[in-house]
């Protein structure tokens, strides 16, 4: 096996990423709130030695529920359930910094990291949706304001994760000393958005910091990722775009004192797999035939701010700008895709239905593996964010047919080598920032 | 079996409720962050056919961590993990209304209810601690203000739980209709504390509303319980106090249009169990000998606002008032206990060490069962909140020796009869408040 190996994350969404997945005879939409479904998915991912599973999230009913199986469980709750029935797979939950408090978020991820034995990851989002703001009594904050808050939020969370040094817990039963309070630190954070005294009310977790993941592709988002993220999910349609994003992100790391190997870049790919190319294309066609245009139009509107009606379906995409605050990066991707390939609106909806702007590849396991290898070996990816069109079958097909092909090519592990998510991603465990100061040993946190 | 039967909840806390449990040779304090420990506890509770397990919670490191095994996982995270590995046991998590947003809380409990197949319960607290406020950038709100917020919070949460009618999801694959959006309702809440448009982004959960539990014993707390709670945890030292509380609470229900059987009253009891009385008293003495006075003093201070030092240990409790805002009810209980029994401060700490003001009973399984039966048959309890002094052994002893005694007496179930937590507690499933209005069938929630 080559020294550099792929990382694979299973991006799980209801009964599949294709927006018509719930209508396909190979899925059962009654499973979207059933923990046994997600357990099965996690077990399949673990059987394939994947690094992690991941759930996206939003804080409102987004999209048109008349025409899609929406309403999946809250990710942290679901991943905690999966932690109890899996052993190796990493567990990455999306949580917003805009509508949460850092104390809660630090504590929940530390709890999940303890419960899972070091397998927790946090996909940090700032929640661009207007409907989300209206579930929290405010108007949607501006893009820059959301990222300013996110930056301070992350500062507080990581301080809280560091607030117990690794060796703070003594468990000296005879001496009656449970912990060394000189190694448990108030953080006394007082910033623009948050005031948090600390310490956290749980000991330092197995990974020190649960893995930090980010997916924003706006300029603020990429800069945030360069500064903080350890794994990056990204939507890239072409190898050239993938290479450009990869080089851009890795090139920004030095200014934060970070090395290229400290961030794992994972473009999304929705693999439509058949034992022959014809079979794969048939599945793709079956899904396409189940698309409901009204749903696609609502998705397009929510994702890009481009509002169109059924009358527009058979014309070209109207001339819309790409410089919209907020959903900017996805809007540009969609507009460029339509222009590059001269798509009608209906055709564009078909292209987006599979992965909401992520790349869709239909083919045999070998063809899918070729694409993965091409990007991996040509500076566009450290691994992939796998988005099966239908679940569980699409994930099982990937694990049972594409993964073995990648293993044969020496590109992917055949057994788990690490114990934690961090170790599987090849990332270091951070030290507590407070560890150096503990020589002072003043009792910071004894309750009065 | 008599028509009226006991309800039993296992109140789980680290390696036991006795504050010196972590020092006792029959426990292992390394287990307080280990999900296998909690899984074992849940399995024991389920083996005993108990109604539910429950975790208390605080949003700060409270108490003196130098001398006790503090820092357990966040309850919702932990209970989600337990949902995946249990089948029958109810799962009750404490979540504060003071430092949370109703949208998150509604969603997490609905998610847990789906994942567990209808076994979620919410212990509603308003967070009296000053250290908690300082982890959220504010000064501690006044007692009345916290309860006002809690009332509006609960209003929003239950509206969100009702926002999808039970039959909103169609799953009509051929017709392309996933849900009837006329049965999914924006809640458009605009109140003093919250503005929440809704609907919730998950369908109505198996119980309709996860079980509502409350434990406040202040006047505001009891009134809140009378209005909203379906199960009430309470600390009562004597049968007379238990009867008074029980009659008081049940008597308040009519003004909210509720019947006595719609609320289950569960006093706390910490059973110290031995196969002989002498063995039980020996275990009690072993635990007492492991008490660290400095820890007890810090607990007393945190729980009641009474600040004493080690010099005060062998004198009587100084003459302190009982009318302190916030921790009022527990302070009165402690002061009255010390006066009634003429305890020194050291003796008082010993009495509080077992259950922080809850009743401690040492004896044989028959003696424990006698006490439970006495309160149950004399208007002081509908069941009990079982607080084992050491874990897992104290719970296993209760399940293996006290539960069979209660079953023989016809006081407790021998098999689960209900499918959900509500059914096991004998409580109705609430209908959605929006169900009656759905004749109008206007599409309230379709994304624009």
| Mean per-residue pLDDT over chain B, rounded | 93
Contact B164 A200 (CB under 8 A): no
Contact B196 A134 (CB under 8 A): yes
Residues of B within 8 A of A165 (CB-CB) are none
Contact A197 B135 (CB under 8 A): yes
- Give the whole-angstrom CA distance, residue B227 versus residue B222: 9
List pLDDT tens digits, range A195-248. 999 999 999 999 999 999 999 788 889 999 999 999 999 999 999 999 999 999
| DSSP-assigned beta bridge partners for residue A55 | A93
Residue A328: predicted pLDDT? 61
**Pick from A34, A78, A177: which is nearest to B111 by CB?**
A78
Contact A445 B61 (CB under 8 A): yes
**Pick from B60, B85, B445: which is nearest to A85 by CB?**
B85
Query: What is the chain B residue with the closest CA to A83?
Result: B81
The reply to whether A177 touches chain B by the CB within 8 Å rule is: yes
* Percent of chain B residues topping a pLDDT of 90: 84
- Give the whole-angstrom CA distance, residue B232 versus residue B243: 14
- Tokens found for residue A73: 């469980």
Q: Which of A244, A176, A118, A212 is nearest to B65 (CA)?
A: A176
Residue A441: predicted pLDDT? 46
Got the DSSP string for B122-157?
Answer: EEEE----HHHHTTTTSPPPPHHHHHHHHHHHHHHH
Give this complex's ipTM: 0.95
Q: Is A77 helix (H, G, I), strand (E, B) or coil?
A: helix
Question: For B163-238, where are the alpha helices, taking DSSP H only?
Answer: 219-228
- Give the whole-angstrom CA distance, residue B251 versus residue A64: 47
Query: What is the chain B residue with the closest CA to A26?
Result: B173
**A93 neighbors A116 (Cβ within 8 angstroms):** no
- What is the Rg, in whole angstroms, of the alpha carbon atoms belonging to chain A? 22
Residues of A within 8 A of B84 (CB-CB) are 35, 39, 81-82, 84-85
Residue pairs between chains A and B whose CB atoms are closer than 8 Å: 248
Nearest chain A CA: its distance from B116 CA (Å): 8
Return the residue in B137, B204, B298 with the most chain A beta carbons within 10 A, the one to mutate for interface testing. B137
Residues of B within 8 A of A303 (CB-CB) are none
Return the residue in A129, A176, A185 with the most chain B beta carbons within 10 A, the one to mutate for interface testing. A176
Contact A203 B71 (CB under 8 A): yes
| DSSP-assigned beta bridge partners for residue A52 | A9, A90
Could you say which residues from 48 to 67 on chain B have a Cβ atom under 8 Å away from some Cβ of chain A? 58-67
Q: Is B341 helix (H, G, I), strand (E, B) or coil?
A: helix
The reply to whether A175 touches chain B by the CB within 8 Å rule is: no
Contact A74 B107 (CB under 8 A): yes
Residues of B within 8 A of A177 (CB-CB) are 66-67
- Give the whole-angstrom CA distance, residue B279 versus residue A332: 75
Could you say which residues from 231 to 270 on chain A have a Cβ atom under 8 Å away from some Cβ of chain B? none
The CATH number assigned to the domain with range B7-272+358-440 reads 3.20.20.30
**B198 neighbors B187 (Cβ within 8 angstroms):** yes
* Per-residue pLDDT tens listing for chain A (448 residues): 447 999 999 999 999 999 999 999 999 999 999 999 999 999 999 999 999 999 999 999 988 999 999 999 999 999 999 999 999 999 999 999 999 999 999 999 999 999 999 999 999 999 988 999 999 999 999 999 999 999 999 999 999 999 999 999 999 999 999 999 999 999 999 999 999 999 999 999 999 999 999 997 888 899 999 999 999 999 999 999 999 999 999 999 999 999 999 999 999 999 999 999 999 999 999 999 999 999 999 888 888 888 999 999 999 988 877 765 555 677 888 888 899 989 999 989 988 998 888 999 999 999 999 999 999 999 999 999 999 999 999 999 999 999 999 999 999 999 999 999 999 999 999 999 999 755 544 444 443 3
Nearest chain A CA: its distance from B331 CA (Å): 17
For A136, phi then psi, to 5°, come to: -130, 20
Residues of B within 8 A of A115 (CB-CB) are 33, 35, 73, 77-78, 81
Q: How do strand A169-172 and strand A177-179 relate by DSSP bridges?
A: antiparallel
- Domain A7-277+358-439 in CATH 3.30.70.141: no
The reply to whether B302 touches chain A by the CB within 8 Å rule is: yes
Nearest chain A CA: its distance from B127 CA (Å): 14
Residue B447: predicted pLDDT? 38
Residue B411: predicted pLDDT? 98
**Pick from A80, A169, A184: which is nearest to B77 by CB?**
A80
Contact A104 B100 (CB under 8 A): yes
List pLDDT tens digits, range B63-91. 899 999 999 999 999 999 999 999 999 99
- Give the whole-angstrom CA distance, residue A300 versus residue A294: 10
């Amino acid at each position: 096996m080559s020294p550099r190996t792929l990382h694979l994350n299973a991006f799980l969404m209801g009964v599949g990423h294709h927006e018509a997945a719930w209508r396909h005879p190979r899925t059962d939409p009654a499973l979207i709130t059933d923990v046994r479904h997600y357990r099965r998915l996690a077990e399949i991912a673990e059987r394939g030695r994947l690094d992690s599973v991941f759930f996206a999230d939003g804080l409102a009913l987004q999209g048109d529920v008349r025409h899609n199986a929406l309403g999946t469980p809250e990710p942290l709750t679901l991943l905690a359930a999966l932690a109890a029935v899996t052993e190796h797979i990493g567990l990455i939950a999306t949580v917003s910094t805009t509508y949460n408090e850092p104390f809660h978020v630090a504590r929940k991820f530390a709890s999940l990291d303890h419960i899972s034995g070091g397998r927790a990851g946090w996909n940090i989002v700032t929640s661009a949706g207007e409907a989300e703001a209206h579930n929290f009594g405010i108007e949607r904050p501006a893009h820059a304001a959301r990222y300013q808050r996110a930056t301070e939020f992350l500062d507080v969370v990581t301080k809280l994760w560091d607030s117990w040094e690794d060796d703070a817990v003594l468990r000296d039963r005879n001496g009656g000393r449970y912990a060394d309070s000189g190694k448990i630190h108030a953080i006394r954070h007082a910033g623009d958005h948050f005031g948090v005294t600390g310490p956290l009310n749980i000991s330092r977790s197995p990974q020190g910091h649960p893995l930090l993941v980010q997916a924003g592709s706006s300029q603020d988002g990429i800069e945030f990722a360069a500064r903080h993220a350890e794994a990056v999910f990204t939507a890239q349609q072409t190898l050239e775009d993938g290479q450009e994003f990869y080089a851009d992100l890795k090139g920004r790391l030095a200014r934060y004192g970070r090395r290229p190997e400290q961030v794992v870049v994972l473009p999304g790919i929705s693999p439509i797999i058949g034992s022959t190319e014809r079979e794969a294309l048939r599945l793709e066609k079956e899904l396409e035939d189940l698309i409901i245009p009204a749903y696609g139009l609502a998705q397009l509107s929510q994702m890009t701010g481009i509002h169109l009606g059924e009358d527009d379906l058979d014309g070209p995409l109207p001339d819309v700008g790409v410089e919209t605050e907020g959903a900017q990066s996805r809007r540009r991707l969609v507009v460029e895709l339509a222009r590059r390939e001269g798509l009608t609106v209906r055709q564009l909806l078909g292209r987006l239905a599979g992965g909401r702007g992520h790349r869709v590849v239909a083919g045999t396991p070998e063809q899918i593996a070729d694409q993965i290898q091409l990007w991996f070996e040509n500076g566009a990816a450290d691994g992939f964010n796998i988005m099966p069109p239908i679940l569980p079958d699409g994930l099982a097909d990937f694990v049972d047919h594409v993964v073995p092909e990648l293993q044969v090519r020496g590109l992917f592990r055949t057994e788990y080598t690490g114990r934690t998510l961090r170790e599987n991603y090849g990332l270091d465990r951070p030290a507590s920032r407070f560890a150096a100061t503990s020589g002072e040993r003043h009792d910071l946190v004894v309750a009065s």
